[in-house]
């Protein structure tokens, strides 16, 4: 198979080496999920070693679908926030068994497959105004920058003012800031793989400070057995009418998260056409729908597109070959989990912050002097990091867009689907 022709690498202004290096960068910025997802879902009583295997396999499967079907440089894995809702909201909060929660996730994936087959998810993307799509990109940039700063301890919770500066005397904070400046300098010098080089150097620098823990048992190990979770889902909970609202919440958050992330990264990569449409949108949305149902069978929560895909885009990723590299690395991680889990947050945080910077550029396309365009965009921009949710940011932006159009007498120009989404968001807030 001719990789260049199949993935349209040259046609998209890239090279195979660039795609592979960018895929490695994407993987390194999201490899934390291999440690975090088992830790969160493990609180429900699920087997943590099996969760590690389920996380890696579901990520690899969904990303392979993205690579070969949509041929876009997006990586997928069990989503942060969605896994917390699974563990703390559904299982620990509502008292459902983790098997029943997996059943809800499985059905959610099937519903997403149906929505995608009938092009409803693509239609939703088209219903979002172009200015709002530009704001989504920038909002995601602020969101992932905040994630990086939080993970490295630069930004911490403050009871008086919500957020505050972390311990500036800690080695973690200084290593993160040093890595940030180093990575920025490498980018300025146009050195390929700048973000990855920065991560590697900070990881090494973290060893004498105890931030990087070298595994005592070696860097290689056999994959943990998935048997404790494999095909353990329970569909009987669906007989309870009260579970419809839970299923709806899963659908809503995943729908807006995946749309927001995909639009934002596509905008940054220059994939959106003049109408703001995503190329191969149907195929791309099918990847996370299949990944979600397959992930439930394997034993993990909802699989979705990762905002960290933007780090690979920043390194030049433009085709599915980059996604293929990510999928291969997730499979490889099954055999060398100790190696990837030793990378500290101080090493990945600089990449996330710099990617946040890169994703601010679409703001130049928004006319903030026009209130009907600027206000919804601004609300989208600030609500993503302030609510720590991509979905909430999009919801508030859409609601503001619909309200301003109606109040200014331009209701006929509104997309019926955009209006329906705004109403759905209001219902979600009230219920």
Separation of first and last alpha carbons in the chain: 52
* Chain center to CA of 125: 17
CB–CB of 220/336 below 8 Å?
yes
- For residue 76, give the 3-state DSSP assignment: strand
Among residues 213, 169, 141, 178, the alpha carbon closest in space to that of 393 is found at: 141
The reported pLDDT for the residue numbered 1 is: 67
DSSP letter (8 states) at residue 212: S
Q: In 270-389, where does DSSP find H-type helix? A: 281-298, 309-314, 320-333, 337-341, 345-358, 371-387
The reported pLDDT for the residue numbered 245 is: 65
Q: In 73-212, where does DSSP find H-type helix? A: 82-84, 98-117, 120-127, 130-151, 171-188, 194-205
The count of C-alpha atoms lying within 13 angstroms of the C-alpha of 382, restricted to the half-sphere facing its C-beta, is: 5
| Strand pairing report for 303-305 and 76-78 | antiparallel
Q: What is the mean pLDDT of each run of 10 residues along the chain (431 residues)?
A: 86 90 90 84 91 96 95 91 81 88 93 87 78 86 87 90 91 95 92 82 93 82 91 86 73 75 77 74 87 95 87 88 96 86 85 86 90 94 87 88 90 84 83 70
User: What is the rounded distance in angstroms from the CA atom of residue 23 to the CA atom of residue 275?
Assistant: 28
Among residues 24, 7, 13, 16, the alpha carbon closest in space to that of 311 is found at: 24
The reported pLDDT for the residue numbered 134 is: 86
The reported pLDDT for the residue numbered 324 is: 96
User: What is the rounded distance in angstroms from the CA atom of residue 425 to the CA atom of residue 431?
Assistant: 10
- For residue 158, give the 3-state DSSP assignment: strand
Cα–Cα distance list, 270 to 72, 262, 273 (Å): 12, 12, 8
The reported pLDDT for the residue numbered 48 is: 87
The reported pLDDT for the residue numbered 206 is: 94
User: What is the rounded distance in angstroms from the CA atom of residue 285 to the CA atom of residue 303?
Assistant: 11
């Amino acid at each position: 198979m001719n990789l260049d022709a199949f993935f349209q690498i040259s046609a998209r202004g890239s090279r195979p080496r660039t795609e592979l290096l960018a895929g490695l960068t994407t993987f390194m910025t999201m490899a934390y999920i291999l440690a975090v997802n088992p830790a969160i879902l493990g609180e429900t009583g699920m087997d943590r070693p099996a969760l590690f295997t389920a996380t890696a396999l579901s990520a690899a499967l969904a990303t392979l679908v993205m690579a070969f079907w949509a041929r876009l440089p997006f990586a997928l894995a069990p989503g942060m926030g969605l896994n917390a809702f699974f563990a703390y909201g559904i299982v620990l909060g509502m008292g459902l068994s983790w098997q029943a929660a997996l059943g809800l996730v499985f059905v959610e994936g099937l519903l997403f497959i149906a929505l995608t087959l009938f092009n409803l998810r693509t239609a939703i993307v088209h219903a979002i105004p172009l200015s709002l799509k530009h704001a989504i990109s920038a909002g995601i940039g602020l969101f992932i920058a905040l994630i990086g700063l939080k993970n490295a301890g630069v930004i911490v919770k403050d009871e008086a003012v919500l957020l505050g500066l972390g311990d500036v005397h800690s080695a973690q904070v200084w290593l993160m800031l040093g890595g940030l400046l180093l990575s920025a300098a490498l980018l300025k010098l146009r050195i390929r793989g700048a973000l990855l080089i920065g991560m590697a150097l900070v990881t090494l620098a973290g060893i004498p400070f105890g931030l990087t823990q070298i595994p005592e048992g070696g860097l290689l190990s056999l994959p943990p057995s998935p048997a404790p979770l494999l095909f353990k889902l329970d569909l009987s909970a669906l007989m309870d009418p009260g579970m419809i609202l839970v299923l709806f919440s899963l659908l809503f958050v995943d729908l807006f998260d995946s749309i927001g992330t995909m639009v934002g990264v596509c905008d940054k990569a220059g994939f959106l056409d003049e109408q703001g449409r995503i190329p191969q949108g149907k195929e791309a949305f099918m990847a996370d729908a299949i990944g979600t149902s397959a992930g439930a069978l394997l034993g993990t929560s909802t699989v979705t597109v990762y905002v960290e895909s933007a780090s690979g885009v920043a390194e030049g990723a433009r085709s599915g070959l980059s996604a293929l590299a990510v999928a291969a690395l997730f499979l490889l991680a099954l055999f060398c989990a100790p190696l990837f889990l030793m990378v500290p947050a101080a090493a990945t945080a600089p990449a996330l912050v710099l990617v946040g910077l890169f994703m601010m550029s679409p703001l130049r396309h928004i006319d903030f002097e026009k209130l009907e365009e600027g206000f919804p965009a601004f609300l989208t921009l600030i609500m993503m990091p302030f609510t720590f949710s991509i979905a909430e940011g999009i919801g508030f932006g859409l609601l503001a867009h619909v309200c301003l159009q109606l109040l200014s007498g331009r209701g006929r120009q509104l997309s019926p689907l955009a209006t329906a989404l705004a109403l759905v968001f209001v219902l979600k807030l009230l219920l």
